[in-house]
């Protein structure tokens, strides 16, 4: 298939590498003045991967879109709406869209597929690609399982058939709300895990995983999704990669925050946490972990006090 990847960050560049590896015709697009794009264009490398000459690298957005059957977007979640605005002037007829990104629009609380529908219209079939894994592991041949979900059953089947390999096994998603919210929310739990690491309280990650999953399951149910999705690959299944891995940006952000250090890379969980707090208020769901993480990030509560209140002081029934 002819596939264009819009975005050349850590995850986007891996997807381009992966889809080329399994035999697709891949174009990767990036902003011409972006350091990551410049590095890939000039050296055919980044700090993780080497890109074959078969991958076309361009900063011409119109050309990249026109050549594609499938358009995959992998950018910051908070930049999605404005970026989609640049696509409205291009020919998007007969294109299929895949979002390989995890987040919730903080200004509206919208899921990312909702942002697509509002911006580009309902006529463009859209799917999400979520689940665990890091490019550093995949590039070394370490396999994992992921999920593709969409309101369009034919699109799900097509993508899973075209994208599956020995490196990634895809499951068929059956709950778009749950998979989008669960995938985004795992980054908030990842920040909490990093805070525990930074305070030398890593032994409490078991409690965090148990309570965090239940908390997000309640929110998914209140929003009209299937609460079991929180226990699937989009959320609980992604905990190893997010709560424990040295490669997790969100875990590292939380660890460095409580140690008074600056984290300079993208941690999607920061804005996602704000959005989850708003969704909790809207749907009247108690989200103690999300609220605590949000307060610590905002500086209105110390991590030591907040995490102690969550896991060490209060007396309550487990279920």
**pLDDT tens, position by position, 10-44:** 999 999 999 999 999 999 999 999 999 999 999 99
319 in any annotated domain: no
Domain boundary at 150, 172, 194, which? 172
185 in any annotated domain: yes
308 in any annotated domain: yes
pTM score: 0.95
User: Do 144 and 184 sit in the same domain of this protein?
Assistant: no
User: Do 116 and 147 sit in the same domain of this protein?
Assistant: yes
What band does 313 get if pLDDT is binned at 50, 70 and 90? low
210 in any annotated domain: yes
318 in any annotated domain: no
Structure tokens at 290: 């999300």
Q: What is the pLDDT of residue 175?
A: 98
Q: What is the pLDDT of residue 59?
A: 97
Q: What is the pLDDT of residue 315?
A: 64
225 in any annotated domain: yes
Domain boundary at 172, 204, 231, which? 172
**pLDDT tens, position by position, 223-275:** 999 999 999 999 999 999 999 999 999 999 999 999 999 999 889 999 999 99
User: Do 239 and 167 sit in the same domain of this protein?
Assistant: no
Q: What is the pLDDT of residue 68?
A: 97
User: Do 168 and 188 sit in the same domain of this protein?
Assistant: no
Q: What is the pLDDT of residue 314?
A: 60
- Structural domain total, the chain: 2
DSSP 97-108: EEE----B-TTT
Q: What is the pLDDT of residue 64?
A: 97
**pLDDT tens, position by position, 39-55:** 999 999 999 999 999 99
Distance CA 84, CA 118 (A): 10
Range(s) of the domain holding residue 134: 2-172
**pLDDT tens, position by position, 114-151:** 999 999 998 899 999 999 999 999 999 999 999 999 99
User: Do 98 and 189 sit in the same domain of this protein?
Assistant: no
160 in any annotated domain: yes
Q: Which residues have a catalytic role annotated?
A: 186
DSSP the chain: -EEEEE--SHHHHHHHHHHHHTT-EEEEE--TT-HHHHHHHHHSB-SS-B--TTSEEES-HHHHHHT-SEEEE-S-GGGHHHHHHHHTTS--TT-EEEE----B-TTT--BHHHHHHHHH-TTS-EEEEE----HHHHTTT--EEEEEEES-HHHHHHHHHHH--SSEEEEEP--HHHHHHHHHHHHHHHHHHHHHHHTT-GGGHHHHHHHHHHHHHHHHHHTTS-GGGGGSTTTGGGHIIIII-TT-HHHHHHHHHHTT----S--THHHHHHHHHHHHHHHT---HHHHHHHHHHHTSS-HHHHHHIIIII------
User: Do 216 and 107 sit in the same domain of this protein?
Assistant: no
Q: What is the pLDDT of residue 312?
A: 76
The CATH number assigned to the domain holding 87 equals 3.40.50.720
User: Do 25 and 95 sit in the same domain of this protein?
Assistant: yes
User: Do 28 and 62 sit in the same domain of this protein?
Assistant: yes
User: Do 195 and 224 sit in the same domain of this protein?
Assistant: yes
Domain boundary at 172, 189, 222, which? 172
151 in any annotated domain: yes
User: Do 193 and 77 sit in the same domain of this protein?
Assistant: no
User: Do 239 and 91 sit in the same domain of this protein?
Assistant: no
Structure tokens at 217: 């399951």
User: Do 39 and 167 sit in the same domain of this protein?
Assistant: yes
**pLDDT tens, position by position, 51-106:** 999 999 999 999 999 999 999 999 999 999 999 999 998 999 899 999 999 999 99
The CATH number assigned to the domain holding 241 equals 1.10.1040.10
Distance CA 233, CA 238 (A): 6
- Computed over every residue of the chain, the mean pLDDT equals 95
**pLDDT tens, position by position, 169-218:** 999 999 999 999 999 999 999 999 999 999 999 999 999 999 999 999 99
Pick from 63, 44, 50: nearest CA to 21 = 50
State the virtual CA torsion across 272, 257, 291, 80 in degrees, nearest 10: -10
Structure tokens at 40: 């890939």
């Amino acid at each position: 298939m002819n596939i264009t990847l819009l975005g050349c960050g850590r995850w986007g560049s891996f997807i381009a590498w992966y889809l080329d590896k399994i035999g697709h015709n891949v174009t990767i697009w990036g902003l011409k003045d972006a350091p990551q794009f410049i590095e890939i264009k000039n050296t055919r490398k980044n700090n993780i991967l080497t890109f074959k000459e078969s991958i076309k690298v361009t900063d011409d957005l119109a050309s990249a879109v026109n050549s594609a059957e499938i358009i995959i977007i992998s950018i910051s979640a908070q930049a999605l709406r404005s970026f989609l605005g640049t696509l409205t002037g291009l020919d998007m007829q007969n294109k299929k869209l895949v979002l390989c990104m995890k987040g919730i629009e903080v200004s509206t609380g919208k899921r990312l597929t909702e942002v697509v529908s509002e911006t580009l219209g309902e006529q463009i079939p859209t799917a999400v690609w979520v689940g665990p894994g890091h490019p550093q592991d995949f590039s070394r041949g370490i396999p994992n399982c992921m999920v593709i979900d969409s309101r369009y059953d034919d699109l799900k089947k097509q993508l899973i058939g075209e994208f599956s390999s020995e490196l990634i096994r895809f499951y068929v998603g059956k709950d778009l709300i749950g998979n989008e919210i669960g995938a985004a929310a795992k980054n908030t739990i990842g920040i909490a895990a990093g805070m525990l690491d930074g305070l030398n309280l890593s032994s409490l990650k078991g409690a965090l995983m148990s309570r965090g999953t239940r908390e997000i399951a309640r929110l998914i149910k209140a929003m009209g999704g299937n609460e079991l999705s929180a226990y699937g690959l989009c959320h609980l299944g992604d905990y190893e990669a997010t709560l424990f891995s040295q490669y997790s940006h969100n875990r590292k952000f939380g660890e460095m925050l409580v140690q008074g250090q600056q984290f300079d890379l993208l941690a999607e969980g920061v804005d996602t946490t704000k959005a989850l707090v708003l969704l909790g208020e809207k749907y009247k769901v108690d989200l103690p972990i999300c609220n605590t993480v949000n307060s610590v990030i905002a500086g209105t509560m110390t991590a030591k006090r907040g995490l102690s209140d969550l896991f060490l002081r209060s007396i309550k029934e487990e279920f």
